[in-house]
């Protein structure tokens, strides 16, 4: 392997949310940060070099997205996800969550209903509520350690006031990579009821062996023209700080409406470093990503085997994608507050508490495994020690 993902990099004191915000967020400092979806790895060298060159130029004025930038996105989707798009379909957003907010403002009215599928990335609910729209929950079904979409519940909850469904694909936090059959059935239901699908595919580049991410809009022309797809190099290359995302909207009328909202807020201009980083990532980041995926696969196998051998009281929901691992801790028998305190005070590990992803997440914790294996070992060791001390009581 050319890249050394075992290297520990000190991020303290770099205004890094994952490390420097621990005390503010969790009320404790000396815990291992395995929370927010941010990796403890350096970005690939070609991105660092491209940014250095741009920094050296020393002039950081208003910036454009050149054709080569747009073509790099087209090329990425074609090579990595077998999805052919026109560069005219691409529009923009600083982040994916701002894009969800813009989509809600562009395509729904106050009081309209929007479907989400909890347990799901907590900002979906927040952004719907912040925009004065109503949430309709279509909880995922958990059977024998496997999550699936509850299509009967979905159909039962649809009425004429439901205007949008926000799809998380791959799904954070439970790690499903939806199959073509599942996406097709979901899409057909949405098309039948004229529901716009906003596909958040920010985790699409993280898929484990034997699974394939299928862009929702690539399934049919009908799905493409009734959907928006949000992607970004941010999770893939650990570039969240440059705030640069791409929103694919094949339907020109929808794209124009989205762009009007973007322009109303005057947030359509790019971040100069985002332009450079995105293009370098999509043009030169593939070798690094392939190696990263191998490393994450090994981290996942290590995690699965560690829990089954040493902490069998916690059941791991095996992810098919993402670097987030959903831990079923219900057997420990804690209340929500007890669980949060136990993981922080006894295990000394900061994870995302399952309940923030919806009440369906109560009794679960989300573990981020995108870190050097030494850090992962320490975190799992902390959880093991804390859980085994429970058994001795």
Ligand X SMILES: Cc1ncc(COP(=O)(O)O)c(C=O)c1O
The nearest distance, CB 207 to ligand X, in angstroms, is 14
Among residues 39, 50, 73, 96, which is the contact residue for ligand X, using CB under 6 A?
Answer: 96
Among residues 51, 97, 219, 387, which is the contact residue for ligand X, using CB under 6 A?
Answer: 97
Characterize the bridge pairing of strands 134-137 and 113-116: parallel
Tell which positions 18-47 bind ligand X, by CB under 6 A.
Answer: 37
- Of the listed pieces 93-101, 158-166, 218-226, 268-276, which binds ligand X according to CB under 6 A? 93-101
The nearest distance, CB 117 to ligand X, in angstroms, is 12
The nearest distance, CB 305 to ligand X, in angstroms, is 26
Nearer to ligand X, 200 or 353 (CB): 200
Give the three-state DSSP class for 32. Answer: strand
Nearer to ligand X, 94 or 187 (CB): 94
Characterize the bridge pairing of strands 196-200 and 352-353: unpaired
Closest residue by Cα to residue 238 from 41, 392, 28 = 41
Nearer to ligand X, 21 or 384 (CB): 21
Characterize the bridge pairing of strands 227-231 and 324-328: unpaired
Site string (132-171) toward ligand X, x via CB under 6 A = ------------------------------------x---
Residue 172 within binding range of ligand X, rule CB under 6 A:
yes
Place of tokens 């470093």: 273
Tell me whether the omega of the peptide bond preceding residue 327 falls within 30 degrees of 0, making it cis. Answer: no
Site string (191-210) toward ligand X, x via CB under 6 A = ---------x-x--------
The two tokens of residue 225 are 């023209």
Residue nearest to ligand X according to CB distances in the complex? 95
The nearest distance, CB 118 to ligand X, in angstroms, is 13
Strands (E) located in 60-112: 90-93
| Dihedral sign from CA coordinates of 51, 247, 124, 81 | negative
- Of the listed pieces 77-85, 92-100, 125-133, 145-153, which binds ligand X according to CB under 6 A? 92-100
Site string (214-253) toward ligand X, x via CB under 6 A = ------------------x-x-----x----x--------
- Of the listed pieces 95-103, 151-159, 306-314, 365-373, which binds ligand X according to CB under 6 A? 95-103
Cα–Cα distance list, 10 to 2, 18, 226, 231, 320 (Å): 21, 12, 45, 28, 30
What's the rounded Cα separation, in Å, for the pair 40 and 217? Answer: 32
- Of the listed pieces 24-32, 89-97, 216-224, 384-392, which binds ligand X according to CB under 6 A? 89-97
What is the per-residue burial (b if ≥16 Cβ within 10 Å, else e) of 345-380?
eebbbbbbbbbbbbebbbbbbbbbbbbbeebbebbb
Residue 127 within binding range of ligand X, rule CB under 6 A:
no
The two tokens of residue 299 are 């981290």
Residues sharing a CB contact under 8 Å with residue 54, sequence separation 6 or more, in sequence order: 272, 273, 276
Q: Are 382 and 32 in contact (CB under 8 A)?
A: yes
The nearest distance, CB 389 to ligand X, in angstroms, is 32
Length of the chain as a residue count: 393
Nearer to ligand X, 203 or 348 (CB): 203
Nearer to ligand X, 22 or 370 (CB): 370
Nearer to ligand X, 37 or 386 (CB): 37
Residue 116 within binding range of ligand X, rule CB under 6 A:
no
Residue 95 within binding range of ligand X, rule CB under 6 A:
yes
The nearest distance, CB 245 to ligand X, in angstroms, is 5
Q: Are 49 and 366 in contact (CB under 8 A)?
A: no
Q: Are 78 and 70 in contact (CB under 8 A)?
A: no
The two tokens of residue 2 are 């050319």
Contacting positions for ligand X (CB under 6 A): 37, 95-97, 121, 168, 172, 200, 202, 232, 234, 240, 245
């Amino acid at each position: 392997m050319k890249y050394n993902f075992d290297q520990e990099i000190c991020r303290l004191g770099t205004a890094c949310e994952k490390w420097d915000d621990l005390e503010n967020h969790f009320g404790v400092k000396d815990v291992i940060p395995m929370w927010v979806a941010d990796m403890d790895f350096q970005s690939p060298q070609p991105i660092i070099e491209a940014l250095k060159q741009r920094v050296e130029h020393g002039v950081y004025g208003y910036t454009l997205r050149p054709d080569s930038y747009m073509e790099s996105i087209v090329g990425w989707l074609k090579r990595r996800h077998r999805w052919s798009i026109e560069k005219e379909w691409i529009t923009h957003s600083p982040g994916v969550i701002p894009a969800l907010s813009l989509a809600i403002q562009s395509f729904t009215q106050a009081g309209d209903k929007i479907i989400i599928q909890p347990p799901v990335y907590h900002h979906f609910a927040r952004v719907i509520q912040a925009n004065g729209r109503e949430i309709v929950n279509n909880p995922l079904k958990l059977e024998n350690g496997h999550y699936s979409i509850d299509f009967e519940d979905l159909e039962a909850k649809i009425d004429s006031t439901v205007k949008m469904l926000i799809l998380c694909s791959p799904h954070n936090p439970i790690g499903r990579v939806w199959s073509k059959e599942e996406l097709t059935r979901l899409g057909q239901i949405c098309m039948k009821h004229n529901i716009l699908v906003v596909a958040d595919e920010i985790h699409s580049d993280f898929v484990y062996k034997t699974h394939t991410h299928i862009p929702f809009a690539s399934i049919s022309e009908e799905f493409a023209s009734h959907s928006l797809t949000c992607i970004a190099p941010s999770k893939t290359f650990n570039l969240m700080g440059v705030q640069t995302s791409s929103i694919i909207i094949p339907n020109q009328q929808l794209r124009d409406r989205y762009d009007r909202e973007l322009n109303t807020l005057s947030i359509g201009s790019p971040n100069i470093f985002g332009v450079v980083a995105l293009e370098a990532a999509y043009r030169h980041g593939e070798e690094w990503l392939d190696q990263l995926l191998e490393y994450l696969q090994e981290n996942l196998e290590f995690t699965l085997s560690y829990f089954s051998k040493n902490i069998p009281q916690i059941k791991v929901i095996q992810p098919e994608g993402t670097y987030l691992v959903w831990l079923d801790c219900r057997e420990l028998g804690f209340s929500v507050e007890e669980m949060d305190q136990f993981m922080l005070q006894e295990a000394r590990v900061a994870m995302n508490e399952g309940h923030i992803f919806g009440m369906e997440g109560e009794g679960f914790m989300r573990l981020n495994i995108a870190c050097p294996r030494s850090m992962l070992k320490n975190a799992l060791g902390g959880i093991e020690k804390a859980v085994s001390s429970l058994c001795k009581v």
